[in-house]
Structure 1
Amino acid sequence: MNIAVLTFDGFNELDSFVAFGILNRMKEFGWNVQITSPTEFVTSMNGVTIRAQQPLEFTHTADAVLFGSGVFTRDIAQDSQLLSQFNLNPQKQIIGGQCSGTLLMSMLGLLDQIPACTDLTTKPWVIEAGVKVLEQPFYAKGNLATAGGCLSSQYLATWVLCKLAGRSHAEAAIHYVAPVGEKESTVQHCMSIVGTYL
């Protein structure tokens, strides 16, 4: 499985790295999870600069594409030249958006008639784009999902794992990263949030 974690300048570290870390629990099963960006280097909202592992073209053939969030997402959403580089197919790909990543999904026409989750800052922009925003951390329909709030990235990762690897692998990955003493309850909680939409 090829998984693209879209990460732009001004990215939120939690949104990109939590999902990236959880999904990489599947590396031993051949999963190829890659930080994917429009430029060779991107700098986070808190000044951490990283090198992209893949260019945007990686999203064209990836099995799953996750839109990360960041402080410049509204500007990115208005960059028609950048958005024109995407060629996504929700019939063949699993596509998710984290916080303001939901705005990018809406601008690409992926959320037509589908309600979505996002963070409080991005909410008015997503509504302005014509999408109904839900007051909950996660929502999915078919091959599309959105999550709201930084730590809801665990739900997005759980959903991708369930869709592409199955429930048992998802539970094992969440169990591994969950706090000691809270592993079973964390797995149960994640599955209760995501399981409704599988």
Structure 2
Amino acid sequence: MKIAILTFEGFNELDSLVAYSILNRVKSENWQVQITSPAPTVTSMNGLTISAHQPLAYANQADAVIIGSGSLTRQIVADQSLMSAFTLNPQKQLIATQCSGVLLLPALGILDNAPVCTDLTTQPWAMDAGLVVLEQPFHASQSVATAGGCLASQYLATWLIAKLASVEAAKNAIHYVAPVGEKEDTVNRCLSVVEPYLD
């Protein structure tokens, strides 16, 4: 399975790197999680510079794509040279967005009038884009999932692992990263949030 985590200049570290870490708890020869960016390096909203594993074109062939958020998302959506690089297809891919990453969905023509989740900062921009925003951390409609709030990245990771690998693999991944003394509670909470959307 190829998983692309779209990570742009000004990215939110929690969105890209928490999901990256949890997803990499799945140990399988065909499981590949890649930071995917428009440049060889990108710098986060707080000054952390990381190297990309793959260029943007990788996302178009991936089995799943996470669209992370950041401080420059609205500028990214307005950049036609960037937007034209994508041919994401929810009929063939799982697509998940974190916070302001949801703004790319209408720009790419991906949403099918489904409600979305996003963070409080992005909420008015999402509504201006015609999206119906839910007051909850996670929602999925068929192959498209959205999450709101930085730490909701754990729900995106749980959903993706359960869909691409198994529910048991998702449990194991969350159990590994959960705080000591709260492991079972964390696993149960994550599953309770995503299980209604696994069919």
- Quick check: TM above 0.5? yes
The aligned residue for residue 67 of structure 1 is 67
Which blocks of at least 5 consecutive residues in structure 1 are unaligned? none
Aligned partners of 1:108 and 1:22: how far apart in 2? Answer: 27
Look up the equivalent residue of 2:195 and give its one-letter code.
Answer: G
**Per-residue displacement from partner, 1:125-151 (whole Å, max 9, x unpaired)?**
111111100000000011100000000
C-alpha distance after superposition, 1:24-81 (max 9, x if no partner)? 1114343110000011110000001111110001011100000000000011011112
The code of the aligned residue for 1:26 comes to V
- Separation in structure 2 between the aligned mates of residue 104 and residue 118 of structure 1, nearest angstrom: 12
Q: Distance in 2 between matches of 1:37 and 1:165?
A: 25
Tell me which residue corresponds to 2:100. Answer: 100
| Pairwise CA distance, 1:104 | 1.1
Whole-angstrom distance in 2 between the partners of 1:18 and 1:186 = 15
Q: Name the counterpart of 2:164.
A: 164
Aligned equivalents of 1:90 and 1:70: distance in 2? 23
Residue 120 of structure 2 corresponds to residue 126 of structure 1: no
CA distance in 2, matches of 1:26, 1:87: 27
8 Å CA contact 1:42, 1:50 repeated in 2: yes
Between the aligned partners of 1:109 and 1:136, the Cα distance in structure 2 is 23
CA positional deviation for 1:23? 0.3
Runs of 4+ residues over 2 Å off in structure 1:
27-30
Give the aligned residue type for 1:84.
S
**Equivalent pair of 1:6/1:66 in contact (CA under 8 Å):** yes
Identity across matched positions, percent:
63
What is the Cα deviation at residue 86 of structure 1?
0.2
1:56 aligns with 2:56: yes
- Structure 2 gaps, min length 5: none
Kept in 2: contact 1:106–1:112 (CA 8 A): no
Say which SS state the counterpart of residue 65 (structure 2) adopts.
strand
The alpha carbon displacement at 1:106 in A equals: 2.2
Letter of the aligned partner of 1:39 in structure 2? A
Distance 2:41 2:27 in 1: 24
More displaced 10-residue stretch of structure 1: 186-195 or 110-119: 110-119
2:25 is matched with which residue?
Answer: 25
- 1:35 paired with 2:35, answer yes
Residue type at the aligned position of 2:39: T
Task: Give the letter for the 1:69 counterpart.
Answer: S
Partner of 2:147: 147
- What CA RMSD, in Å, does the superposition of the two structures yield over aligned residues? 0.8
Give the distance between the partners of 2:29 and 2:121, measured in 1 at CA.
37
